[in-house]
Amino acid sequence: MSPIISPSEFQNLPSENLVILDARAGKDAHQKYLDRHIKNARFIDLDKDLAEVGENPAFGGRHPLPTVEKFGKAVSRLGISEGSHIVIYDDKNGANAAARAWWMLKSFGFENVQVLDGGFENAEKNNFEFSSSEESFEKAAIIKKVNWLLAASSLEDVENELTNNSATVIDVRDSYRYKGEFEPIDLVAGHIPGAINIPFSENLDENGSFLKPEILKEKYLKLLENKPEKLIIHCGSGVTACHTILALAYAGFEIPNLYVGSWSEWSRREGKEIVKGI
């Protein structure tokens, strides 16, 4: 199953076993959901469901992963079962939290998980049916898992791989953040020494939809030529990085490692080198 679903494909899906998740994020995200969302969508919260926000981002970053057990409870509360076909959207073309939800659901073991191409805006353009207020649905039985199934790298992993030149570390933040020209979210500007910059926005066309798989594949093969094959993807806090992981999967690459702590962890960890410029 393709990790990306077009609006037309979405509108032709059978309703049986379909679970739609609204993954918009930000302080007003839940209110936006209550005001207007794709009909039958269920709200999934970045900070409560898709992360276990700790006291010190120097250890885990701003959006550390929850335990697999805790996520299993969120999955149950959202009415997701083994046979569910899950479609996720946000209002940032997948970069807000939809791609993070996709990564976590895949890592939990779900196969039928897709992100709506173009997200909420594309749904509006394509005259989707919308609703307001909470949706009613039944909880599902709790699915028990022991570990996340997809590869995630720690700060120490990233440091060792870069030291040994055994992996390519990709920073998907905007170039001005990578270069350290301005940092709007974290405390320190700059980037991890040795990381290369491929902004996640380059995965999209001028309309905010994902580039075609063959175009993405050609693009990344060229960008990663003569570089170590193992890929570790990071961003500010391990959320937007999943957008590029999603794009790579869409292009037919193996799902690479996610550095969950990302820049929010590295930049706060005492003694870690920080680079500015290219």
The yes-or-no answer on residue 235 being catalytic is yes
In this prediction, the residues of the chain whose per-residue pLDDT falls under 70 are none
pTM above 0.95, yes or no: yes
Whether 4-131 and 152-266 share one fold: the answer is yes
Residue length, the chain?
A: 278
Q: Provide the pLDDT for residue 31.
A: 97
Helix intervals (H) in the chain: 7-11, 29-35, 68-77, 98-108, 119-125, 155-163, 175-178, 213-223, 241-250, 262-266
Q: Which of 101, 105, 233, 235 is an active site residue?
A: 235
CA distance 264 to 186: 6
pLDDT tens readout for residues 119-174: 999 999 999 999 999 999 999 999 999 999 999 999 999 999 999 999 999 999 99
Domain boundaries, the chain: 4-131, 152-266
CATH topology of domain 4-131: Oxidized Rhodanese; domain 1 (3.40.250)
227: tokens are 């570089």
Across the chain, which distance is largest between two alpha carbons, in Å? 53
Q: What is the pLDDT of residue 165?
A: 96
| pLDDT at residue 164, rounded to an integer | 97
* Structure tokens that stand for 67 in this block: 């335990």
**What is residue 94's predicted lDDT score, i.e. its pLDDT?**
80
Please, which residues have CB within 8 angstroms of residue 92's CB and are 6 or more apart in sequence? 98, 119
- Phi and psi angles of residue 76, each rounded to the nearest 5 degrees, phi first: -65, -45
- What DSSP string runs through 11-61? HTS-STTEEEEE---STTHHHHHHH-EETTEEE--TTTTS----S-TTTT-
- CATH number for the domain whose boundaries are 152-266: 3.40.250.10
| pLDDT score at 278 | 81
Per-residue pLDDT at 95: 83
